[in-house]
Structure 1
Amino acid sequence: MVAVPFVKLKVLSPILTAMSHSMTRGLRTLAHHERIAFGAWLVTWISTPIVLWTAGEHIFPWMASLGVLTQVALSVGILARTWAPFQLASVAGKILISAWAIEVVGVHTGLLFGRYAYSDVLQPQLGSVPWLIPFAWLMMLPPAWAVAAAILSDDRPEGVQRRSHLLARAILAGAAFTAWDTFLDPQMVARGLWQWATPGEYLGIPLRNFAGWWFAATLLTAVVQPKNVPRMPLLLVYTLTCILQAIGLGIFWGQPVAALCGTITMGSFALMAWIRESRRWKYSSGP
């Protein structure tokens, strides 16, 4: 009985060790201004439970807004390594406008995500959609792009193969982005930030919602076609988001099922991405 977990631990140990080393390497690649943004984001997320305990739950919308904006600054700042200012502004604008439009259509028609509505907790709102929501898309899409770029080959085929490759990346990025929602939706529904007209199968959330997220994120990625995404630092952001959400939901917010499901889904993408990255470094550095 004891041997089975021991064998599993023995198999997983080298993988987790390599992943830990990879994350450390990713942290070391951060530039000075990126480390400032990284520190602000990390402090905000870690301090949120403490602030809520001391100041009260009514402060949550402010802490959530601060957490989103600091992660936007971090993700966009990392993209600025390899993207020209105009390209960065153009892509950010496309994501913000498109995400807002998708949410407006979703709220008013029930398409994509099912019938749902935002409460008045998050303000201000435009078209019954809080202004913060499109920024949440912007904060997590770049890390999802990094996951897809890490898992898939760096080869850039031409013609039909190139289009298939771009589509595969978009689909994978959409899935990695949707995995984050297995953490997000249960927490925000429990806090009354939004609600579905008819409770669904996953902790009150319709499975259709996740299909809608996947489709929308895949479509946005296919339209933007992100290239030269700095993989390591954005993978670090994706992985730490998973870890912090798992701790938050599992320990502080009393949602162990969501914590477990989110860890499995989002953690699987992070693990696959880091394994691929580790192999690239091994082959590039030689024997």
Structure 2
Amino acid sequence: MLAGAGCLGTMAVAQVLSGVRPEPIRLTGVVVVLLAASAVAFAAGRDGAGRAVGAFGSAVAVGYAAEWVGVRAGVPFGEYSYTSLLRPQLGGVPVIVAVAWGGMGLAAHAVATAIVPEAGFRRWAAGALALTAWDLFLDPQMLRMGLWTWADDGPYRGVPVSNFAGWLAVSLVVMAAIDAIVGRSEAAASGGLIAIYGVMTAMETLAFAAVFEPPDRVVALAGGAAMGTFAVLAWRRRWPR
């Protein structure tokens, strides 16, 4: 718990610095690594190191496989490609992107477990929606930083609808993979992992509303409402009055 909290606090500081610095890309990898370290640490405190690493690794593998296919075949997200700004890359996919799937995958799974304590498809669907909600922030942010490009512009800040359909599909597989390793009913609803999701919700909303230049209050509202709904539901279910 202490290691997870320490990594989460440091990640928050790095996230703030990445938002106010003129060259935020240099801190992107740091933020993602700290996010993943915090998630694995909290999961290890709940399930043991072996299961935590296994669940994280399975989410990373699913995310990487989807991205690897995506940049080549245009499915399941649509036609896109990564620029050379994020390094290192493996098969045209930045390694840090796969790590992000793992870290936020664990957090979204914990949120879903708090909302739907019973293991099964309903939990997977809740987790997939919670993880896809994060992409309402992620894609517009990464596009404005020039980290990837879409072949065709879409209606949501240049992001096509196919991207969100693909995120839902891949996130469903990520949730099933994590659930197979750590999905033990109520015991899997980790407060630390839910805190990660809540911190990301608050920081991304604030960043788009007031920190980024120029601000984008449409993204702040859309992402904040979507992620915020899941964060509030998870906290209320975990600690009911």
With normalisation by structure 1, the TM-score equals 0.78
Q: Given the alignment, which residue of 107, 114, 122 partners 1:143?
A: 107
Instruction: Find the counterpart in structure 2 of residue 242 from structure 1.
Output: 201
Unaligned stretches of 5+ residues in structure 1 = 1-30, 157-164, 283-287
Cα distance in 1, alignment partners of residues 49 and 238 from structure 2: 27
Cα distance in 1, alignment partners of residues 2 and 142 from structure 2: 33
Cα distance in 2, alignment partners of residues 188 and 112 from structure 1: 19
Instruction: Find the counterpart in structure 1 of residue 126 from structure 2.
Output: 172
Alignment of 1:62-101 (within 5 A): 62-101=26-65
How far off its partner does 1:230 sit? 4.2
Fraction of identical pairs, as percent:
32
Q: Which structure 1 residue ranges, 4+ long, deviate > 3 Å from structure 2? A: none
How far off its partner does 1:223 sit? 2.6
Deviations 1:43-100 (A, max 9, x none): 11122234x1xxx32xx22211100011111110000012232222222222222211
Q: Given the alignment, which residue of 162, 165, 173 partners 1:208?
A: 162
1:259 aligns with 2:213: no
Shift in alpha-carbon separation, 1:93–1:35, aligned structure 2, 3 A: closer
CA contact (8 A) 2:32 2:100 kept: yes
Comparing 136-145 with 268-277, greater Cα deviation is found at 268-277
How far off its partner does 1:38 sit? 2.3
1:102 aligns with 2:66: yes
CA contact (8 A) 1:147 1:269 kept: yes
CA contact (8 A) 1:245 1:259 kept: yes
Shift in alpha-carbon separation, 1:69–1:106, aligned structure 2, 3 A: same
Instruction: Find the counterpart in structure 2 of residue 33 from structure 1.
Output: 3
Instruction: Find the counterpart in structure 2 of residue 159 from structure 1.
Output: none
Give the secondary-structure state (helix, strand or coil) at the position aligned to 2:239: helix
CA contact (8 A) 1:175 1:214 kept: yes
Cα distance in 1, alignment partners of residues 79 and 27 from structure 2: 27
One-letter amino acid of the structure 2 residue matched with residue 249 of structure 1: F
Which is greater in Rg?
1
Q: Given the alignment, which residue of 137, 143, 146 partners 1:183?
A: 137
The number of residues matched between the two structures is 234
Instruction: Find the counterpart in structure 2 of residue 49 from structure 1.
Output: 19
1:217 aligns with 2:171: yes
Cα distance in 2, alignment partners of residues 259 and 229 from structure 1: 30
Cα distance in 1, alignment partners of residues 198 and 230 from structure 2: 9
1:196 aligns with 2:150: yes
1:273 aligns with 2:234: yes
Deviations 1:240-267 (A, max 9, x none): 1011001111112222111111011111
CA contact (8 A) 2:59 2:177 kept: no
One-letter amino acid of the structure 2 residue matched with residue 265 of structure 1: A
Deviations 1:78-124 (A, max 9, x none): 00012232222222222222211110101100111000011111111
Cα distance in 2, alignment partners of residues 87 and 234 from structure 1: 15
CA contact (8 A) 1:246 1:259 kept: yes
Give the secondary-structure state (helix, strand or coil) at the position aligned to 1:200: coil
Deviations 1:103-147 (A, max 9, x none): 010110011100001111111111111111001111101111111
One-letter amino acid of the structure 2 residue matched with residue 208 of structure 1: S
Shift in alpha-carbon separation, 1:86–1:246, aligned structure 2, 3 A: same
Unaligned stretches of 5+ residues in structure 2 = none
